Amino acid sequence: MRPSFKPTARQVNWLLIVGFLSVGYALYLRYTVIEQSTVSLACQAGLPTWMCFTRKIFLALFQNGVFGIAALAAAALNLIRPSIALITIALAACGFGIVLYNVETSALAAGLLILSLARPEPSTE
């Protein structure tokens, strides 16, 4: 029986950094860029700033459920074939998805990520 997939201490530290940065940036975007009425009115009036461009991109992404779908796809692939790269992508997308209103699919992806830790390591043969 093969051992289950367990990230090393260095990989866990990397995942912690990615998780905290994705959730932190998503919180920043949600509460200072997306939900602020003054920013919203200025951007809808045509203000050509980097903040308005970022707001426009992230609004389009979360309104179409891209964060949740990306998190679910990466978590499903990680469940089939565990790797640190897929965990990183799924974790970052889950962080953005949960904070930016794609909760259902992102939470399902987080559950699949937890379940993938019980999967055996990929064989090196």
Per-residue pLDDT of the chain (125 residues; tens, 9 = 90+): 566 778 889 999 999 999 999 999 999 999 999 999 999 999 999 999 999 999 999 999 989 999 999 999 999 999 888 889 999 999 999 999 999 988 999 999 999 999 988 876 666 66
pLDDT of residue 124: 66
Backbone dihedral angles phi then psi of residue 90, each to the nearest 5 degrees: -65, -40
Adjacent-strand bridge partners of 4: 120
pTM of the predicted model as reported, rounded to 2 decimal places: 0.87
Angle between helix 84-99 and helix 66-80 axes, rounded to 10 deg: 150
